[in-house]
Amino acid sequence: MTVDRLTRVPGLLYGGDWNPEQWPEQVWAEDVKLMAEAGVNLVTVGVFSWARLQPDSHRRDFGWLDRLLDLLQRHGIAADLATATASPPAWLVRAHPELLPVTADGVRLEFGSRQHYCPSSTAYRAAAVRLTRMLAERYRDHPALALWHIHNEYGDHVQECFCPASAAHFRRWLRERHGTIGELNRSWGTACWSQGYGSFEQIEPPRTAPGPVNPTQLLDWRRFCSDALLALHRAEKAVLDEVSPGVPVTTNFMSMLKALDYWEWSRHEDLVSDDAYPDPADPRAHVNAAMTYDLMRSLKGGRPWLLMEQAPSAVSWRPVNLPKRPGLHRLWSLQALARGADGILHFQWRASSAGAEKFHSAMLPHRGTASRGWQETVRLGAELRRLGELAGSRLHGRTAVLLDWDSWWALELDDHPSARMRWLDLLRPWYAALYERGVTVDFVPPGADLDDYRLVLAPNLYLLDTATADRLTAHVRAGGHLVCGPFSGIADRHDHIHPGGHPGPLRELLGVVVDEHWPIPDGTSTAVTLGGATGAAPGAAPGAGAGDRELRAEHWSEWIETEGAETLARYASGALAGLPAVTRRRYGTGSAWYLSCHLGTGIGRVLDLPLAEAGVGAELPGLPPDVEATRRHAADGTRYLFLLNHGPAERRVPLDAPGTDLLTGTAVATAATLAPLGAAVIRIPAAEERP
Ligand code: GLA
């Protein structure tokens, strides 16, 4: 079941994790009263309640949760009820010490924190499924129940385990994937370094070894670890689907997490939800947050998603934890809505007085209702009520970014030409360039249908199968535009080099061949001149000076030769001086671009060319600096234009249609004025055509 909305809660969702087991019941009464005051309509309960629900192997205590859910119901607040399985209780751990996870060095991690379980432990899994069933059977018809919340942040603290049970599970997984040991040997390339296996029984997880471990073994291990956690999730999901059909189920994702293939995971979610903790100390945090939110929206093809957790102010787990200055939390919350979220939830409702997270901010801070934080909580709740009508509306980009976890994992394996080629480092400047140009981006998996997109960006496709390459080629032939970043088309799904020269299956489409990789040493850079060694860049703004054509390649460059592509930029210093750096090949009725280097923040000046060629522009032309603009579309044709000012100066934004700012209730005609950290959400009726 995939859902667009929680049918039991109208409008936008607002609330947070509530951990009532940390408080005497008298406090609950005050909690629900204050929740109502703040406009909270959904709280996540039970995330860390296992020890309270099952105090020992044969006792259960659900009475408190009965009372809690009844209390919520009486106050009109819905529950996102957790299955409570993220932290197994001490009695279970002591009865089954083998369920504790083991590191690659053989250290068994102790009880005393959270997420202390081996993903392949049968004892853990059986107990988790049992608890899920008890909760589902007891609460499936409870009127407060709006959403099931499986576990909590899979992969947060423990992403892999190297114990004997994991090893056995890995072997079973390998047998299923490869069929025979001969196939596995071929896939892993075990002829190298005398690693051949005679049987699956001889295989172990990639524990700490004397030197580099077989890369395909490591790649299969990454795949296995994502699958092993997903199997746990699916076991709980199956129980909920069976016992409590009709109630949607989610688990909270962790933004751009390398460990879990969220394309695969999201197929098993009814609703995507995410935990996002942009750092108030990072002046570019909102750009990375936008990128994450675009991914969350894209995971279910543009359906609304839920911001399940964010900090109302400071977190407690960075070395230095800055609070959010006044207005920042509101702005960042609106940003999630601007990028397709239908709800804003937090960690957590009431600040803890004990335990590891007592210095984490909360919707209700330690100081109580006199605090600045509480004022912001109440204000945000009121504003979300004013924005309720936009629930269910959607936004889509015309530009797609290809994201493939398999390729991400393979790219970052050891013993490559440079350890600096990290997926997020490659992706971020591309995304930032589009963000700064006001272009809305969707993420797509390698198998996606690309028909909706005029422009497809692939900052890196180290691992690329021929089916994906064929799809990209067909897209360009039919008039699409593709921009492909360096070190792409290198390996097949076994991490074997494609024969015949890089970029392998993209060589013909891109019209280039890579002769050799030339990583650039840290702290140095290579000059790149747009427009080749001479002449202006095609599509460069009239009057663009030579300075606008000078870019710097960092960390990576390639010796490439063209085979049908034209050269748009050349290396201008170093060993590759004079050789092509950026190329374009006209192919069919589209074009395919290749960037052979990492251009850091200069990438925007290159991307301007394919953007222009593809006819992809800003969501709202003429945006002043620091202002983010997105547009959500309702089924009836109403549009909601979000304008967010992330900068310290007031900004005036020219509008392309008149409307009403839902935050203030005032009409806006030709321009909106945004205070520093200010925002507007402008409803534009269907009848108002863009000029
Ligand atoms: C994660 C967890 C929460 C809490 C927060 C603190 O998101 O899911 O339980 O620990 O971090 O920021």
What digits encode the pLDDT tens for the residues 84-117? 999 999 999 999 999 999 999 999 999 999 999 9
- Average pLDDT score over residue span 332-353: 98
Ranges 1-10, 247-256, 341-350, 586-595: which has the least confidence:
1-10
pLDDT bin (cut points 50, 70, 90) of residue 581 is very high
Question: Is any atom of ligand 1 closer than 6 Å to the C-beta of 85?
Answer: no
Q: Is 309 a catalytic residue?
A: yes
Residue 600 reports pLDDT greater than 80: yes
Dist. CA 93–CA 115, nearest whole Å: 12
The mean pLDDT of the chain is 96
Q: How far does the centroid of ligand 1 lie from the alpha carbon of residue 625, in Å?
A: 33
Q: Is the CB of 18 under 6 A from ligand 1?
A: no
When pLDDT is cut at 50, 70 and 90, the band that residue 177 belongs to is very high
SS percent in the chain: helix, strand, coil, step 5: 35, 20, 45
Report the residue count for the chain: 691
Overall average pLDDT of the 349-360 stretch: 98
Res. 381: pLDDT tops 70? yes
Give distance in angstroms: CA of 347 to centre of ligand 1. Answer: 6
Residue 538 has pLDDT above 50, yes or no: no
Of 43, 49, 357, the one to substitute when testing ligand 1's pocket (max ligand atoms within 8 A of C-beta) is: 357
Which atom of ligand 1 approaches the CA of 152 most closely?
8
Hey, whose CA ends up nearest to atom 7 of ligand 1? Answer: 275
Q: Ligand 1 centroid vs 276 CA: distance in angstroms?
A: 9
pLDDT at 300: 97
What residues form DSSP beta bridges with 307? 274, 344
**Does the active-site annotation cover 30?**
no
Distance in Å, CA 74 to ligand 1 centroid: 28
CA distance 46 to 149: 9
Q: Supply 345's token pair.
A: 């939830």
Confirm or reject: Cβ of 152 under 6 Å from ligand 1.
Answer: yes
Catalytic residue among 309, 383, 558, 628: 309
Query: Which residue has the CA at smallest separation from atom 5 of ligand 1?
Result: 347
Q: Which residue has the CA at smallest separation from atom 12 of ligand 1?
A: 315
Residue 687 confidence class, pLDDT cut points 50, 70, 90: confident
Nearest to 1 by CA among 317, 202, 242: 242
104, 106, 176, 185, 680 from 172: Cα distances, Å: 19, 21, 6, 16, 54
Q: How confident is the model at residue 29 (pLDDT cuts 50, 70, 90)?
A: very high
> pLDDT value at position 22?
97
Q: Is the pLDDT of residue 607 over 50?
A: yes
Cα 278 to ligand 1 centroid, rounded to whole Å: 13
The predicted structure's pLDDT at residue 536: 40
Distance (angstroms) between ligand 1 centre and the Cα of 155 equals 12
- For residue 451, name the pLDDT band (cuts at 50, 70, 90): very high
Residue 139 and residue 247 in contact, taking contact as beta carbons nearer than 8 Å:
no
Q: What is the mean pLDDT of residues 450-462?
A: 97
User: What is the reported pLDDT for 1?
Assistant: 86
Cite the DSSP H helix spans in 351-504. 372-386, 405-411, 423-436, 466-477
In the chain, DSSP finds a helix count (H) and a strand count (E) of: 18, 27
Average pLDDT value for residue range 247-259: 98
Ligand 1 contacts CB of residue 153 (under 6 A): yes
- Quick one: average pLDDT of 323-350? 98
Q: Kindly state the average pLDDT of the residues 606-620.
A: 96
State mean pLDDT over 540-564: 82
The proportion of the chain whose per-residue pLDDT surpasses 70, expressed as a percent, equals 97
Q: What is the mean pLDDT of residues 424-440?
A: 98
Q: Give the residue from 325, 323, 262 showing the smallest Cα distance to 297.
A: 262
- Listed in sequence order, the residues at least 6 apart from 349 whose beta carbon sits closer than 8 Å to its beta carbon are 15, 16, 17, 18, 19, 31, 35, 40, 43, 362, 363, 364
Q: Is the CB of 275 under 6 A from ligand 1?
A: yes
Residue 82, CA atoms < 13 Å, CB-side half-sphere: 24
Atom of ligand 1 minimally distant from the CA of 315:
12
Asked if residue 533 has pLDDT above 80, the reply is: no
What pLDDT does 688 receive?
65
- Residues 159 and 111: their CA atoms lie apart, in Å, by 16
Are 535 and 568 in contact by the 8 Å Cβ rule? The answer is no
**Residue 242 pLDDT > 60:** yes
Instruction: Please give the Cα distance from 555 to 460 (Å, whole number).
Output: 14
